[in-house]
Structure 1
């Protein structure tokens, strides 16, 4: 047991030294990088047709016999040859394309930057006559201004006269539905959650607790409505009324936005904060069709070239070091815990 204790102390010291060295290196890198511009991200493009074709080939390779595989390969070569001849004669039509963008929204709509750059890239090449943009959207909503910006980004596609389809497999509620309603067409899986066309705000108030402990809070403002409700001051009925008025005004803006972009919706029927599952959402015109994104995109691959487009930010060296340090610390802690647990069972 004494040996194990000494080993544990030695291991802890060694890990401490390693962490200190890594932190020192990270600090030097951060100082050297100070003042330099952040590294720009890159656009990643994956052809969905190719991925599906590879999966199909892999499966057929297991279930078909050699003669059947040869026949399919022969037919594929013939089709490719015919396509080449058509291209040489100038008979081929311009390729029709579908661009797929993902948006997985949190309360702050943190993927706004990714969405913005992905849309910018697509709009630089998309053809309004032949192409379509599909957004696979998942969000339960969040901050009004953040989701207002995300919706405006989707509006850029509409303004470029490019058909926009939004697919909701799980949820597009509140700010998520604000984004979805911009689309020309909304598809949802049968049990996806949609709606929640309402506005909510809440905050704790610690004023009574502070008073109980004889703690004063000084809040100075210039402007009658600069601060309505606070977390630490004593809230008034006048402040509550103004705050509620602001919520109602935001709700009216939300309803007007949905009404403008999706006139088929009876806004007085759906703008009460309720949510609907896919089938019920179809009944009240919140969606146009019940279909998963997988089904819609797979069907499109039969006649279109389908590309997944995603903007990815490049991490700086100090960010990578930070992630490495965090991972190293976590591993070290786990190792210490494991050593301590093992020592319990050694006499």
Structure 2
């Protein structure tokens, strides 16, 4: 018996040790990884910037992001907030002599790239240098790098300069083979989010709008490069349109770059610029490390004791009900944050940072309500990121003022619903049939095992029509326009920020800092601190919640690679089949 109890005791102790030691180890790793200790920057240093990771609105609160520990999402990711703050700090940091833009793949939208580009232009006003180098220049990275004092490419490198394109994946053929019919109810001639499920190619209306907004974005792209490189816009258009840039030598010949150099030659150049001997290493600091000492500062550093606050509410990702997270907008979380700030007397103004293609119409309306109520109490200014379309525009339209980047994607004022009819799949493909009873004619409305009846379709169409009427009415009231006018520029049509300014959907072009200053000015405050909401969950709180989901997502990403976005599109179909949607037609990808 004693031996039995000894065995049980040893087992229990073993389990405790096996459980506690890993937790202690995890805690140690987290503590080490999450250290916010400011990095020591040596004199004559170079700020090394390499964008080979996704750029989010805010840096995720994940100290293990760079470690890939225990199956967690190990992708490095920095927020636009920290990137801009770091470049701004480097401008006045006496130890930073210049910026080295190293080979990058811009995993960001055009508006995000624009904000970083403008920050680099501002940095150059300090008379410090910016040098760019890459073995491969994508169009996104070249647009950013074109502001550098010197742009270099590897002699054997790749230079992409061929114009923009937009591609849509159509699923109707696959659905037909599976015996699935997408039953679409929508309002909006241009509301093309439903097209991949009912067509095999773009409609004429959709082709018209894509040509329009893609052309607007491309024109702005060429204009920016033209100003930076001193090359006429017509020449740049011609270079791309005729495929003139085939080799690095072509890029040099037409003055898109300043030289063909290997990495060692670039390093020698940086040593000369910083006064470092050839025999010594360059004093450099990585952006990820430097940002720890460059947190977003109050607008007036001398007034850090001020009780005034300007709050930034980050609304990023697709809109749905519930809490959401750093990459999605939960109506409960965002509306609660806005409500809290509305009641906080220290908060004098609010900036709603919107980067969203839309989503649930109901969830969008919940957030819109809080914006409208807040507007009656204190200034609320919208800053649009890469995209603020459909539901993303709906939550913005009630604000005092809307500020967008020229290449922001916005508009898409429309609404739709999709219900699947899987009768042929069940009956013909799988041999499954259904039968049952109901107490009312419409008790099983939306049942996927059969098609909608004409009466049921009319009920749903009436619901979508009402949603569109509410949408256009909200925009008309928020923008001071007639509902008839909003309907004429609505219909689900997508616009760029530049186009939206001309038709009155936004008030001015600018960045998030412009929105902060606008909120402060309208609030009548000159000294203030900046605070960010919703509050990010601590890593330990998110650890248990997202572990299994992150493991699954990472596995799927590893298997699908670049095709992961198609998986996300297909996955999104099930979400769109639940409630009416205010959603942008598709993701805009410009390489």
TM norm structure 1: 0.63
Match of 1:291?
Answer: 510
- Counterpart of 1:280 (choices 499, 524, 534) is 499
Choose 1 or 2 for highest CA Rg: 1
Aligned counterparts of 1:259 and 1:136: Cα–Cα separation in 2: 21
Cα displacement (A) at 1:240: 1.9
- Compared with structure 1, are the counterparts of its residues 175 and 223 closer, same or farther at alpha carbon in structure 2 (3 Å cutoff)? farther
Moved more, 296-305 or 259-268: 296-305
Shift of 1:96: 5.3
Pairwise CA distance, 1:278 = 0.8
1:5-45 per-position Cα deviation (integer Å, ceiling 9, x unaligned) = xxxxxxxxxxxxxxxx89x969xx9xxxxxxxxxxxxxx9x
**Larger strand fraction of residues:** 2
1:127-152 CA-partner distances (Å, limit 9, x unpaired)? 58xx2211111111111111111212
Q: Which residue of 161, 173, 183 corresponds with 2:389? A: 173
Q: 1:313 Cα deviation (Å)? A: 3.2
Structure 2 counterpart of 1:269: 488
1:58 aligns with 2:277: no
Question: Residue 116 of structure 1 aligns to a residue in which SS?
Answer: helix
Tell me the CA shift for residue 124 of structure 1. 4.0
Alpha-carbon shift at residue 209 of structure 1 (Å): 2.6
**Closer/same/farther in 2, CA of residues 295 and 323 from structure 1, 3 Å limit:** same
Partner of 1:108: 320
Is 1:237 the counterpart of 2:421 in the alignment?
A: no
Gaps of 5+ in 1: 1-20, 30-43, 65-78, 88-93, 335-347
* Counterpart for residue 312 of structure 1: 536
1:138 aligns with one of 355, 362, 365: 355
| 1:323 and 2:358 matched | no
Whether 1:246 and 2:492 are equivalent positions in the alignment is no
Matched residue SS, 2:383: strand
Q: Which residue of 2 aligns with 1:18?
A: none
Gap regions ≥5 residues in structure 2: 1-14, 24-60, 62-80, 99-125, 127-299, 559-591
Following superposition, the deviation at residue 298 of structure 1 comes to 6.9
Q: Measure how far apart 1:196 and its partner are.
A: 1.2
Q: 1:136 to 1:219 in 2, by over 3 A?
A: farther
2:419 touches 2:448 (CA, 8 Å); kept in 1?
yes
Bigger relative CO (Cα 8 Å, ≥ 6 apart): 1
Partner of 2:476: 259
Q: Which moved more, 1:190-199 or 1:306-315?
A: 306-315
Aligned in 2, Cα 1:153/1:53: closer, same or farther, shift over 3 Å? same
Q: Aligned partners of 1:318 and 1:122: how far apart in 2?
A: 24
How do 1:7-26 residues align onto structure 2 when only pairs under 5 Å count? none
1:219: how far off?
5.1
Q: What's the CA shift string for 1:112-165, capped at 9, x where partnerless? A: 34323432442343458xx22111111111111111112122233223x20110
Q: Which residue of 1 aligns with 2:427?
A: 211
Supply the RMSD in Å over aligned alpha carbons: 4.4
Structure-1 separation of matches of 2:539 and 2:373: 28
**In 1, are the aligned partners of 2:351 and 2:515 still within 8 Å (CA)?**
no
SS at match of 1:135: strand
- Offset, 1:270: 1.9
Q: Distance in 2 between matches of 1:54 and 1:165?
A: 25
The alignment of Structure 1 onto Structure 2 pairs a total of residues equal to: 268
Task: Please state how far the C-alpha of 1:169 moved relative to its aligned partner.
Answer: 2.1
**Structure 1 contact 228–242 (Cα < 8 Å) conserved:** no
Contact 1:229 1:243 (C-alpha < 8 Å) held by counterparts = no
In 2, distance between residues paired with 1:59 and 1:254?
51
Give the secondary-structure state (helix, strand or coil) at the position aligned to 1:239. Answer: helix
Alignment check: 8 A CA contact 2:381 2:518 kept: no
Judge conservation of contact 2:351–2:519 (CA < 8 Å) in 1.
no
